[in-house]
Each structure stands twice: as structure tokens, then as C-alpha cells.
Amino acid sequence: MLRIILFIFIIFYSCNNKNNIDENNTIIVADTTATNLPFYEIDNDVLVKEIEIFLDTATIPLSNVKEKILNILVKHRNDTTIYMFSYCNSAFAIVNTPFTFFSKVKGNVVVFSYLYDSEIKLSDSIKWEYLKETFLEQYNKYYKDGILIPPNLNHNSYVLKFKDKKLIDKYFLDWFNELDTNKLIWSW
């Protein structure tokens, strides 16, 4: 039943898209691409601003890589939410994360991957509709050979911690060399 409701929700927003763009052309609420896919709205102005800063200033080892996308891992506990920003150069992690949502900030697709187990998820085919423009070579390999290309890991992440929707901490993290396991999102 829940799958039917989710399907109807996606169809409704795809069909009733009005290209709602805020006055700064920053967040596209229900943008349509060539495939008429809906994008989720980010309901936290501070988070949007931090994403904009990251997109504008992040210097990463992948800067010369053409196929990359901002993936934000999200973990929520009680009144606290942690967001870990990092660039992905592979669709592997995104396709394999059940709770995945797509948004746009400054014209860039931003992926939110929620770290929860669930029986409900977007199908791989829908995820690929969002990802195929960025990862066209991987998309073709996946549908031709059934192979997902593993990522070359980026060791740096930007972590934000919100409590009751207020930013309380932020830091950069080299998660392969981090000794304080309390800073790692999956150990929290």
C-alpha cells in the first residue's frame, strides 16, 4: 500500500510540475529535467546555505574528474541530525542506498542518502534517471553488463550537526585517518 502511495506521489509531482524556482534561483522545488523528474525541496535555509558554500568552495582530489555528484549522508537520532557532505565519482553508493532523495541547489543535483534500513526504496531504474546524465558511462555499463563501478574514495568530508534544526557544529573530516570514531557518522 505504501509503495502505491509513493508511486502516486511521484507521478503527481511529475505531472503537475510548475517549475517553482525561488527568487534567487537557488532551490528548485519541483524542477523538471528532460525526463520530468521531481526534485525535493530542502526545508532548512542554513543547510541550503552550507550546501551552496560547499559547492562554491570545496577543493577536492576529484576536481579533475568529470563524473561526480554531491552526496550527503544523513543520520537522524532524536532531535539531532548529522549531514556528511562528500563528492561521489561513482553511482555505486547512491544506487545501493535505499532511502535516497534528489534535490537541486544552484542548478546542481544534490543526493541525500539516509542511513536507514527500510523495506521502502526508490527503484534502481528511477535512481538512474536522476544519475544517468552525470554518470552516463556507468549507466551504460550497468544496463549492458549489470556491473556497478565501485568508487575511488574521496577521503575528505564536510560534516554538519543540527539540533532542533539549528546548526550546532561543523567540521572537515578525513574519515580514513580520523581517530575520534565519535565524529564518524555511522558510529554515531
Give yes or no for residue 6 having a pLDDT over 60.
no
Among 46-55, 91-100, 161-170, the least confident range: 91-100
Instruction: For 43-80, give one letter per residue: b (16+ CB within 10 A) or e.
Output: ebeebbebbbebbeebeeebeeeebbbbbbbbbeeeee
Q: Which domain holds residue 92?
A: 2-187
Task: Please give the model's pTM, rounded to 2 decimal places.
Answer: 0.71
Q: Residue 31: which pLDDT band, with cuts at 50, 70 and 90?
A: very low
Quote the CA–CA distance of 100 and 122 in Å, as a whole number.
Answer: 7
Domain total of the chain? 1
